Amino acid sequence: MSESLELATLGGGCFWCTEAALEQLVGVESVTSGYAGGHVEDPTYKAVCSGATGHAEVVQVAFDPDVIAYDEVLEAFFEIHDPTQLNRQGPDVGSQYRSIVLTHDDAQREIAEAYVEALDEEYDDDVVTEIEPLETFYRAEEHHQDYFAKNPDDAYCSFHAKPKMEKVREKFEAKVAK
């Protein structure tokens, strides 16, 4: 990774959908699906899906802060999931689908806390997004990387990833790669 790039680690439901939506943003160099926030070393997808590892499905976004700021990455992230849903997003239920921001430093923590506090005023229900320091990110198995790009006709992706991608394209038109 280039020294000029920064990382954001975010979980808001299925990582296939989050990855597909956020990788469209100009300034995002890569999005990697993985697991974080749990207590088991080197978890597998099957173990994470069981809910027993404590991990969330997350994406790790490598972005150029000279092109897109961390708070803009957060804005897109919060646009594509419901931060008031506890341990679920759409059809995906379990703590592995929780809304979570895993921060890489104190500056990110401060920005994320301020963002969530402001966001909480916009919703009738409480925002339940967790904000924690990232301890370890585990890259998901290879077949989960770029899942939407490899499986654009997958029914789950058609119903869940495509609308999130469209939402990012509409809301962040100037920040979406053509």
User: Which of the residues are catalytic?
Assistant: 14
Coil vs helix vs strand at 161: helix
DSSP conformational letter for 175: G
- Cα of 91 vs its chain's centroid, Å: 17
- Cα of 32 vs its chain's centroid, Å: 10
Q: In DSSP terms, which residues pair with 133 in a beta bridge?
A: 103
Which tokens hold the place of 100? 């979570």
- Contact present, 64 and 56 (Cβ < 8 Å): no
94: buried, middle or exposed (CB in 10 Å: 19+, 13-18, 0-12)? middle
Give the span between the Cα atoms of 139 and 43, in whole angstroms: 9
